[in-house]
Amino acid sequence: MSFENQPDFASQVADLNRYGQALNSCESVDEVVSLTLEAVSLLFDFPYASFVVVGNGHPEVADSTNPHFEPGDEVTDVVTQAIESGETVRRTGAEAGVVEDSDVTATLAVPASIVDEVMVVLVTRATSIDEIGAEHAEPLEILASHAATAISNIRSREQLERARQDLETRKEMVELYDRLLRHDLGNDLQVISGFTDFVADSVDGDTLDYVERIKHAADDAADLIERVGDIVSTLEEADEPEPKPLRRELEETVTTVDTQFDELTVEFDPADFEYQVYGGDLLDSVFTNILSNAAIHNDDPVTVSIYVEQPNAETIVVGFADDGSGVPEAVRDEIFEMGQKGPESEGTGLGLGFVRALTESYGGTVEVRESEAGGADFRVVLERA
């Protein structure tokens, strides 16, 4: 006899709905497990019940009324079969027990999934019947579904809370860096700029040229600090990235970098970059950091070729391919983490982290691969406007 044909069908449905509502009010997985086992004990005449939780593809016993199981135990093969098939599994006779000479005569393993991923398996074991029929299997499947939904909701809330806390931590770190940059480094740059003005009046020739370059670099750094600070101060009120003329952004970048690095040659045809892309006020800093990276991290003269690709109608790739020493494959992902750098690098490890953070804030991505010349090929993907 099926679940729906039972004389007490309406009563069982009402009981299951009440437990379903209670499960959805649980604040923790432990509460869900405890309440579900309570429901099995009160609504079904089975001496043994186990609740298996599946997390990251790994199932383990969360709790059980069976003395052969404890929380954290590995699962039996009936549970594994239920997870792999995604369907209820029945065992009878000698196969139903966990140990030899067991009094268990029938076992039922009921999986419950959320978006095709099994999250919960309820296992019941009987000692007085030869098989657990549909009149028990169907309501157990409903109860397992309630439990899986409750656990899924709890995990989602926990993930959101972790994300919120992570954002709060990141915001605090950004504010700290902003204060340090504006105050400490900003003051130092003012000192450098002031002394270069003094020295410039006392020298000429190549020395004067070097002094002017120092002043130019100090002024650019101070300007960047101020711009970053302004963006941090208005971050919560910032609008979406706006259309930017890619050609103009790159032309200004190349001009700036050319004045700073004698050993760097940039191959760049402005006419190839007549595109509008989405970006913010610091889009040029993305390009500046990549070009500067090529000059700083190569001992010999290096040439960077800037190119553009159109992978689809929505995005373009701005590539920076150089003929330098390249980036080892083992660290190509790591170098975009804040504070990470290559094994031979003497830098701070912040430049490329800054590049990725900015690019992603504009809806793009950045990666590095080996160039045709054996050096590094940084590829910045931007959304077209």
pLDDT tens string 61-112: 999 999 989 999 999 999 999 999 999 999 998 888 888 888 899 999 999 9
pLDDT value for 84: 93
Element (H, E) at 279: strand 276-279
Give tens-digit pLDDT for 339-373. 455 445 444 445 687 788 888 888 899 999 999 99
| Stretch among 160-174, 189-203, 304-318 having the lowest mean pLDDT | 160-174
Q: Distances from the Cα of 332 to the Cαs of 67, 172, 308, 336, 375, in angstroms? A: 52, 28, 21, 8, 12
Q: Give one DSSP letter per residue of 53-122, joined into a string.
A: EEETTEEEEEEESSTT--TTPPPPHHHHHHHHH-S-EEEEGGGG-SSTT-S--EEEEEEEEETTEEEEEE
Q: What percent of the chain has pLDDT over 70?
A: 87
What are the pLDDT digits (tens) for 288-338?
Answer: 989 988 988 888 899 999 999 998 889 999 999 999 988 888 888 888 885
Tokens 């009563």 -> residue: 11
The predicted model gives 18-43 an average pLDDT of: 92
Q: Does 262 or 63 have the greater pLDDT score?
A: 63
Burial pattern 118-149, b for ≥16 Cβ within 10 A else e, equals bbbbbbbbbeeeebbeebbbbbbbbbbbbbbb
CA proximity to 260, closest of 286, 221, 229, 318: 221
Res 235: pLDDT: 46
User: Which of 89-98, 176-185, 254-263, 266-275 tops mean pLDDT?
Assistant: 266-275
Q: What local confidence, expressed as pLDDT, does residue 6 receive?
A: 58
How many secondary structure helices (H) and strands (E) does the chain include?
9, 12
pLDDT at 230: 59
Model confidence pLDDT, tens digit, residues 204-238: 888 988 988 888 888 878 877 776 665 555 444 44
* pLDDT of amino acid 145: 93
For the chain, which domains are there? 3-161 (3.30.450.40), 239-385 (3.30.565.10)
What pLDDT is recorded for position 56? 82
What pLDDT is attached to residue 352?
A: 82
Across the chain, mean pLDDT equals 85
pLDDT surpassing 90 at residue 252: yes
User: Could you please report the per-residue DSSP string of 178-231?
Assistant: HHHIIIIIHHHHHHHHHHHHHHHTT--HHHHHHHHHHHHHHHHHHHHHHHHHHH
Rounded-to-integer distance, Cα 110 and Cα 125, Å: 12
pLDDT in tens, 131-147: 888 888 889 999 999 99
